[in-house]
A and B are shown apart, each in its own frame.
Chain A
């Protein structure tokens, strides 16, 4: 009974995510709706299954699947939103605060040897694409 209630909540949240994906006007807003609601939705459904089923194999499989969803779904959506932002030809509307654009504008300037224009809390990771790579491959 508890597991069924959990699964019902999970599918309701997935339906909320679907409504957001259908109705939101922007790509990034749709991604936001999908990953916020349906991460919790699918994890609730998996936990409902783990509560309901008895065999230890089933329970551990469901818990592992829930842990993998929590770990991978926000990461995948982060990758998708970043590359949607970077891609040319997809209209992306970002409001006032656009930290990625600021960071890329800093990257465009070739940093000198004793350059301290880069903020210390945002040191560039290794493997950041070099500037001037907007020509596409």
Chain B
């Protein structure tokens, strides 16, 4: 069942990566990055569930915080710039 979760997360990563590469505006690329970070957090949690060892879980916490801060900063950047 963990393997099925890995497959679903990998497919989601492909979708977000497509939006990151192809997105016409900067907001689309930010959406792609945000989704990829979410998939990364999910992958860290799945790995911890598989091995039963939670050494990487603080990384998931930090990635959550960095994701929020980066999105907020890019939002302030887009607001005056456009495109």
Binding site for B on A (CB under 8 A): 3-5, 7-8, 10-12, 14-15, 17-19, 21-22, 27, 30-31, 34, 38, 41-42, 45-46, 48-49, 52-55, 57-58, 61-62, 64-65, 68-69, 72-73, 75-77, 79-80, 82-84, 86-91, 136-137
**How many B residues touch the partner, as a band?**
35 or more
**B21-53 CB contact bits vs A (8 Å, 1 = yes)?**
000011110111011001101100110110010
Residues of B within 8 A of A79 (CB): 71-72, 75-76
- List the B residue with the shortest CB-CB distance to A12: B8
Main secondary structure of the interface of A (DSSP, over half): helix
**Bound Cα distance from A5 to B54, whole angstroms:** 19
Residues of B within 8 A of A57 (CB): 54
Residues of B within 8 A of A137 (CB): 80
Q: Are A72 and B68 in contact (CB under 8 A)?
A: yes
Q: Are B42 and A14 in contact (CB under 8 A)?
A: yes
Binding site for A on B (CB under 8 A): 1-2, 4-6, 8-9, 11-16, 18-19, 25-28, 30-32, 34-35, 38-39, 41-42, 45-46, 48-49, 52, 54, 57-58, 60-61, 64-65, 67-68, 71-72, 74-76, 78-83
Residues of B within 8 A of A3 (CB): 49
Chosen A-B contacts, 11 in total, with CB atoms closer than 8 Å, are A4-B49, A7-B1, A15-B11, A31-B31, A41-B38, A62-B45, A72-B68, A76-B34, A90-B25, A90-B82, A91-B25
Residues of B within 8 A of A55 (CB): 54
**Bound Cα distance from A54 to B54, whole angstroms:** 9
Closest Cβ–Cβ distance, residue A19 to chain B (whole Å) = 6
Q: Are A53 and B15 in contact (CB under 8 A)?
A: no
Contact A83/B75 with A7-B5, A65-B61 known, Cβ cut-off 8 Å: yes
Q: Are B54 and A58 in contact (CB under 8 A)?
A: yes
Q: Are B42 and A11 in contact (CB under 8 A)?
A: yes
Contact A76/B38 with A21-B19, A83-B79, A90-B27 known, Cβ cut-off 8 Å: no
Q: Are A68 and B75 in contact (CB under 8 A)?
A: no
